[in-house]
Amino acid sequence: MFKKLGFLLLVSLFVFSSSVEAMPIGGVDMEETFKAGDASLILNGAGIRKKFLLKIYVAGLYLKEKSSDYVKIMAQDETMAIKIKITSRWINSERFKEACEAGFERTTNGNTAPFRTKINLAYTAFAQEFKVGDVFDIVYIKGVGTNFYKNGRFITKVDGLDFKAVLFGIWIIDKPSHKNENLRRGMLGMPLE
């Protein structure tokens, strides 16, 4: 009886684990689906953030429907998410915030002042030590705001569609400050250069 029950449990665990599909990007598995509130999102695309030939992190963009139109994605009041998986010890809290700051400069055309309070609140999500394997989820919920998670733990929430637009734009806007065109194109599901 116990052997049969154990076997059934083992089989059900295998079936469950094999049904979770992932897309390998730079040696990192990115889940093909993402649950955000009541919304089921799909992996639009993913890419590798590189610096000095190092693979810093892998980032994936999750949307309700696939799109490569970054202007529409930034402006859209729809639930969406960005998942970031840290792959290098080179990146730390300060470096990540510096990169985000350059990104905000790009997405606001140099006018970060109206967003400063929200930007600073968002930075609290990246204030702790970074470790290889850490996962950050940036989740915009339609009509609610952007929630920040580290390793599945909620950190903070920032209100406003306007803020979501400039935040998500860091990764997907044309001519991004990070200058990693393949990261951008990968997240937008476009062919790499």
What is the per-residue pLDDT across 124-177, written as a single tens digit (0 to 9) for each? 999 999 999 999 999 999 989 999 999 999 999 999 999 999 999 999 999 988
What's the pLDDT at 20? Answer: 47
Confidence of residue 32 (pLDDT cuts 50, 70, 90): very high
Confidence of residue 119 (pLDDT cuts 50, 70, 90): very high
What's the pLDDT at 41? Answer: 98
Interatomic CA distance for residues 82 and 172, integer angstroms: 11
Residue, of 32 and 4, whose pLDDT is higher: 32
Neighbours of 182 (CB within 10 A): 15
Segment 13-33 mean pLDDT: 66
Segment 71-79 mean pLDDT: 97
What's the pLDDT at 37? Answer: 86
Q: Looking at residue 174, what DSSP letter applies?
A: S
- Domains of the chain with bracketed CATH: 22-187 (3.50.70.10)
> Would you say 46 and 60 are in contact if contact means Cβ atoms under 8 Å apart?
yes
What is the per-residue pLDDT across 38-66, written as a single tens digit (0 to 9) for each? 899 999 999 999 888 889 999 999 999 99
What's the pLDDT at 51? Answer: 83
Complete DSSP assignment for 61-120 = EEESS----HHHHHH--S-EEEEEEE--TT--HHHHHHHHHHHHHHHTTT--GGGHHHHH
Paired tokens of 164: 């979501």
* pLDDT over threshold 90, residue 11: no
**Assessment of whether the complete model's pTM goes beyond 0.75:** yes
